[in-house]
Structure 1
Amino acid sequence: MRALVLRHDHASLSGPVGDRLVQHGFALDEHTVVPAERQHDPAVEFDFPAPEEYDLILALGAPWSVYDRAAVGTWIDGELKLLRRAHERDLPVLGICFGAQALATALGGSVERAPRAEIGWMPIRSEAEDLLPAGPWFQWHLDRFTVPPGAEELARSRVGPQAFRTGRALGVQFHPELTEETLSQWLDLGGARQAEEYGIDPAWLLSETRTRREESRQRAHRLVDGFLRSALPRTPASTHRTQT
C-alpha cells in the first residue's frame, strides 16, 4: 500500500503518524511543496501527483494560512483539487492542522482567523474517545476551520472545531505528528518569536514536549489505528507490526 504524504514545508515531518502508517504496511511517498530556500517566499510552482496513484493521503501542517493567497500563491488550488478528487474517489484522507483546514475548504467548509491563538499542549472535548482521546494534544494555529456540509464534528475546543469526519476523510486541528525534533525546527524558523509574542516561553514548549514524548507517541498511534479501522474496515488490525 502507498501513502502520499504532503509536506508543505521542509519542517513538516510525519513523526509518529508516519511511523504508525509504516507499521501498518504503508510505503510513504513524501512530497515537499515549499523547499527550505523558499520558506519565507512560499508562492512556488508545484505539480501535485494524481491521488488515484495512492491508497491513502496524509496532508501535514504549514506555517501559512489556506486563505492567504498573497503568501501561498496558486499551489493551494492544486492541493484543494487533489483533496477533493481523493474524497470523491473514496480514498482515505488524513489532514492535520493546515492539512485539515485545506481538507475542510476543499469539501465546502471555510477557514478564518480564530478569536485567539492556540499554542501548546491542550485538551480537547472529544465525542469519539475511541478515535480521538481528549489529549492533551499539541496545538499551534492562529486560524480555525468550519466543518464541511454533511461532515460530523468529532471534537472541539473553546476556540472552535478540532476534528471532523466525512466518508473516509478525517481532519484534525491539532498536531499528533509532533516530536521534539519537529518543534525545534519550528522554533528556529520564527516560532520562538511568535510564541513569545503570545506570552509563551519557547523553552517551556520544548520541555513539555520532551516530557510528553512517550504518551503523545502512543496517543498518535491510537489515532492512526482508529482512523485506519474506519477508513479501511477490511484491513485486519493484526496486519501491522505491533510497536507500542
Structure 2
Amino acid sequence: MKPARIVAIVHSDTDVPGSLPELFSEHGVELEVRSITRPLLAPESIDGLVVMGSPESAYDTRLPWLEAELQWLKDIQHRGVPTWGICFGSQLLSRALGGRVYRNNTAEIGWTPLEILEREWAHSGPWLNFHFDAFTVPPEATLLARTDLAPQAYRQGKAIGMQFHPEIDTAMFDTWTRYWSSTDEGKRFLETAGDLPERMRAEIHDRQPANRQNCRLLVKDFLNQM
C-alpha cells in the first residue's frame, strides 16, 4: 500500500532533492527530507526511503557519518523497506546489499541514453550522469541498465539503485556549483572544467520539462513496487 510519507536522506545541510518532493506529492506522498547530520530514524519507523547523492565517495571511511549510515541502510534492507538509491545513494545501497564501490577508470559526465537489459524497466533516458566512482551489481540483484562506462540501474526485491540523477533541476544544480566554488576539491574541479558548468546548467534548463516527465515515471514505478 502506498505510504503517506517517504524519507529522503541528503548528505549535507545544503543539499536539495530536486524535483522529487513535487513529483511524490502528485501521488499524495510527503517526501520528508532529512540531512545525514541529524539523528537517523529508527528503521521500523520508515515505510519508504530515498538515499540521495553526494560529492563524497561511498567508500571513504574518513567521513564521520558513512559507517553509521551504511549499517543503518543494511538494517533497513533486512526489513524489506522499499528503497531508492540515487548516484552516491545507489553506490551505498550496493554496498549494503553486498556489492562494492570503486573509482572508475573514466568519469561519466553528461546526458547519456541507457542500454536497457530488462524489458519491464524501460527508462532509457537520456539521463544526466555526473560521477567518478561506480558500483558493482550486488550479488542477488538484477542489472536493469548500463552504459559503456558503468552499470546504471539494478533492482533487488523492493530496493532499486540508479547511478544517474533523474531528479536534477536547475535549482539543484546551483547547489553543486556553490559547493564547487566553496571547497578545495570543488575548486580543483573548476580549474580544469572550463565552461562545463555553464553548459551543463543550460542543458539542464533546456531538458528540464522532458527530464521531469521521465522522472515522474520513475516515481510512479517506485510507488507501484511498494
TM-score for the superposition, normalised by structure 2: 0.89
Q: After superposition, where does 1:129-208 map in structure 2 within 5 Å?
A: 131-190=121-180, 194=189, 197=192, 201-208=196-203
Q: How far has the Cα of 1:132 moved from its partner? A: 4.5
Specify which of 19, 23, 39 is matched with residue 20 of structure 1: 23
Shift of 1:14: 1.8
Aligned with 2:94 (options 87, 101, 104): 104
Q: What root-mean-square deviation, in Å, do the aligned CA atoms of Structure 1 and Structure 2 show?
A: 1.8
How many residues were matched structurally? 218
Q: How far is 1:129 from its partner?
A: 5.8
Q: Deviations over 1:152-190 (max 9, x none)?
A: 000111112101100000000000111101111201211
3-state SS, counterpart of residue 9 of structure 1: coil
Answer with 124-133 or 216-225: which moved more: 124-133
**Aligned equivalent of 1:77:** 67
Equivalences for 1:111-130 in 2 at 5 Å? 111-128=101-118
Report the AA paired with residue 183 of structure 1: F
SS of residue in 2 equivalent to 1:15: coil
CA distance 1:186–1:29, change in 2 (3 Å): same
Task: Report the AA paired with residue 2 of structure 1.
Answer: R
- Are the structure 2 counterparts of residues 193 and 211 from structure 1 closer, same or farther at C-alpha, using a change threshold of 3 Å? farther
Query: Who is 2:35 aligned against?
Result: 32
1:61 match: secondary structure: coil
Encode CA deviations 1:179-218: one digit per residue, 9 max, x unaligned. 1011112012115862662566211101100100100000
Q: Secondary structure at the match of 1:102?
A: helix
After superposition, what is the alpha-carbon deviation per residue over 1:25-49, rounded to whole angstroms, capped at 9, x for unaligned? 2222221124xxxxxxxxxxx5311
Separation of aligned partners in 2, 1:196 and 1:152: 39
Change (3 A) 1:122 1:50: same
Where does structure 2 lack aligned partners over 5 or more consecutive residues? 181-185
Identity of aligned residues (%): 37
Q: Choose which of 84, 95, 98 in structure 1 pairs with 2:85.
A: 95
Structure 1 residues 131-140 or 170-179, which shifts more?
A: 131-140
Residue 50 (str. 1) matches residue 45 (str. 2):
no
Aligned residue in 1 for 2:183: none
CA separation in 2, counterparts of 1:136 and 1:10? 29
Name 1:210's counterpart in structure 2: 205
- For the residue of structure 1 that corresponds to 2:36, the secondary structure is strand
Residue number among 217, 221, 227 corresponding to 2:216 in the alignment: 221
Letter in structure 1 aligned against 2:168? L
Cα distance, 1:53–1:18 mapped onto 2, change above 3 Å: same
